[in-house]
Homo-oligomer: A and B are copies of this chain.
Amino acid sequence: MERLPGFRDFYPEPLPHNDVWSADARQHIFEQWRKVARRYGFREYDGPPLEPLELFTTKSGEEIVGQLFDFEDKGKRHVSLRPEMTPTLARMVAAHERNYKKPIKWFAIPQLFRYEKQQKGRLREHFQFNADLIGETDPAADAELIALLIDALRAFGLTAEDFVIRLSSRNAWQDFFKQGGGDPANEYEFFQTIDKLERNSPEETEQKLTALGFSAAAVNDFIAAGKPTAELASILENLAARGLKDFVKVDYKVIRGLAYYTGVVFEAFDRKGEFRAIAGGGRYNNLVKLISGGKVDLPALGFGMGDVVLVELLKARGLLPKFDSPMDVFVTIEDESLRGISLKLVQDLRVAGYAVDYPLVPTKPDKQFKRAQELKVAHTVRAESDAYVRIRNLKTREEVVAGFEGVANHLG
């Protein structure tokens, strides 16, 4: 029996096949994300992976249904696996925002699901680091969130030479559109055209812009000038004060396709341009109000960073450690009459916090030693009697004999 297409199995390292993913690398990534989020004062939350379909169509329209794992449950509810976290966050914040001081700084690491067209390397689920800051309109909030994004990438050893945050603004484009005499009814289509600048041919873009009443030259000049709005200038200054100037640049080619962004938008890219966006986000000041049916109105911004592109990038840059030596100690049992006392030794060492393995059943000494080497333990320990143990450092080959109580002193 096979797993479903577009879904992943996560195995312990060393990996048995290039078709499966590393559970150890995944845990490493989650730990870095959590560590950095906590330093920034972001608190963890989570919601159900299954939600009423309406939660997602309210935000994104009925078009999204074609990309969802949606179905009718046994209680006749139309439900869907979550394709993104923001609607759940907006629902949760709207329900209980009064109990939390503003700004609310929250993060989550949800698994998200989309019924994407099947293509090589195109997955139907991924994990995403979601961080959101709710209740503050000042660009200082945007800077704080972008700093978190930068440090979340630096936590893996990535530097300003590896990635850059391309910073843009819906407001800047709205002003451009208005000043150029654009018809408000066409604004969304205009944004879509800008969003596809790097994917479509110049001819196609020019044709679309002309139809909307704009010249490609004017658009290109606006992008080339890259003049920061007051808001963007404030964010850049804030990040520069933190020493993070080199990680960010204004780039109006970024606009983000999603309709609900309202202000600053940004995307993180590898500098070499080998991969899709590593992360993306922006302001969505109207969403909490929309999801809560008008009951709660809070400005907000957030980003999402998926695990798939991140793993590809870290692999390419040699920044994904190997996770193949998880054990500290191997307790050898050569004299089976000492098995009982050896089990006590195993138990004591585990309680003391060491990762310990041993032969479950009678095993030849050379096989035990081979297993200890495979597990890359630093020490083997062997009960010599019910009072003494022999500790061997596999690196230095030093051996010492110690009492039962003193073992930990020799394990470093």
A sample of 6 more A-B contacts (CB under 8 A), given A1-B291, A11-B96, is: A2-B52, A4-B52, A12-B100, A39-B354, A101-B374, A147-B347
CB of A338, distance to nearest CB on chain B (Å): 10
> Measured between C-beta atoms, what is the minimum distance from A253 to chain B in Å?
28
CB-based contact A356/B39 at 8 Å: yes
A173 to chain B, nearest CB (A): 26
Task: Please choose the segment from A215-223, A237-245, A264-272 that sits at the chain B interface, where 4 or more of its residues have CB less than 8 A away.
Answer: A237-245
Question: Would you list which residues of chain A between 66 and 84 have a CB under 8 Å from chain B?
Answer: 66, 69, 71-75, 77, 79, 81
Per the CB 8 Å criterion, the residue count for chain A at the interface is 98
Of A49, A98, A374, most B-chain CB atoms within 10 Å: A49
Could you tell me if A48 and B3 are in contact, using CB atoms closer than 8 angstroms?
A: yes
| Complex interface residues of chain A between 344 and 368 (CB less than 8 A to chain B) | 344, 346-347, 350-351, 353-357, 360-361
Structural contact, B9 and A47, CB atoms closer than 8 A: yes
Cβ-based interface call for A24 (8 A): yes
Hey, what's the 0/1 contact readout for A93-107 against B, CB within 8 Å counting as 1?
Answer: 001101111010010
Cβ 8 A contact of A45, one of B12, B103, B343:
B12
The answer to whether A52 and B1 touch across the interface, beta carbons within 8 angstroms, is: yes
A41 touches B355 (CB 8 A): yes
Known: A38-B326, A241-B340. A24 touches B50 (CB 8 A): no
| B347/A20 in contact, CB under 8 A | no
Q: Which of B16, B26, B71, B344 touches A96 (beta carbons < 8 Å)?
A: B16
Surface stretch bound by B, among A138-146, A206-214, A273-281? A138-146
Question: CB within 8 Å of B: which residues of A?
Answer: 1-5, 7-12, 14, 16-17, 20, 23-24, 26-27, 34, 38-41, 43-52, 54-55, 58, 66, 69, 71-75, 77, 79, 81, 91-92, 95-96, 98-101, 103, 106, 111, 113, 115, 125, 136, 138, 140-141, 144, 147, 151, 237-238, 241-244, 291-293, 326-327, 339-341, 343-344, 346-347, 350-351, 353-357, 360-361, 371, 374-375
CB of A89 to closest CB in B, whole Å: 10
Q: Which residues of B contact A55 (CB under 8 A)?
A: 1
B48 and A23 contact, CB distance less than 8 A? no
- Docked-complex contact A77 and B4, CB < 8 angstroms: yes
B16 & A136 in contact (Cβ 8 Å cutoff): no
Q: List, in ascending order, chain B residues with CB within 8 A of A291's CB.
A: 1
Given the interface pairs A326-B41, A356-B41, the reply to whether A50 lies near B81 with Cβ below 8 Å is yes
Query: How many chain copies?
Result: 2
* Shortest distance between the CB of A155 and any CB in chain B (Å): 10
- Residue in chain B with minimal CB distance to A357: B41
In the bound complex, what is the Cα–Cα distance between A145 and B108 (angstroms)? 32
Whose C-beta in chain B lies nearest to the C-beta of A81? B50
Taking a contact as CB atoms under 8 Å apart, the answer to whether A1 and B243 are in contact is: no
Query: Can you list 12 A-B contacts with CB-CB less than 8 angstroms, sorted by A residue number?
Result: A1-B293, A7-B50, A10-B47, A23-B44, A41-B327, A49-B49, A50-B69, A69-B73, A101-B374, A103-B360, A138-B360, A244-B347
Given the known inter-chain contacts A3-B51, A7-B48, A16-B96, please indicate yes or no for A138 contacting B361, CB distance below 8 A. yes
Set B7, B12, B52: member contacting A106, Cβ < 8 A: B12
**Residue of A1, A38, A66, A72 most packed against chain B (CB within 10 A):** A1
Q: Are B140 and A361 in contact (CB under 8 A)?
A: yes
Chain B residues positioned under 8 Å from A40 (CB to CB): 350, 355-356
A115–B46 CB distance below 8 A? no
